[in-house]
Amino acid sequence: MTDLFLLSEAQMCRIEPYFPLSHGVPRVDDRRVISGIVFVIRNGLRWRDAPREYGPHKTIYN
């Protein structure tokens, strides 16, 4: 399997202002979810085939 992809700190700082504010229930790790989305798109995978390290496929998809 391909190595896992994680966004750098600089990349996260650039896109962080576009994330919604958290109210109530704690948010999932944004870096992990966004990195999972990029990984799936780059590798042409189905959401269901994303590595578990990125979290549940439904979380990455939604």
- pLDDT of 14-58, one tens digit each? 999 999 888 888 888 999 999 999 999 999 999 999 999 999 999
Sorted by where each begins, the domain ranges of the chain are: 1-11+28-62
**Could you give the C-alpha distances from 34 to 29, 40, in angstroms and in order?**
9, 10
pTM of the shown model: 0.83
Confidence of residue 62 (pLDDT cuts 50, 70, 90): confident
The whole-number pLDDT of residue 2 equals 57
Q: What does the DSSP 8-state code read for residue 2?
A: P
User: Is 4 a residue whose pLDDT tops 90?
Assistant: no
> Contact, 50 vs 57, CB < 8 A?
yes
User: Is 61 a residue whose pLDDT tops 80?
Assistant: yes
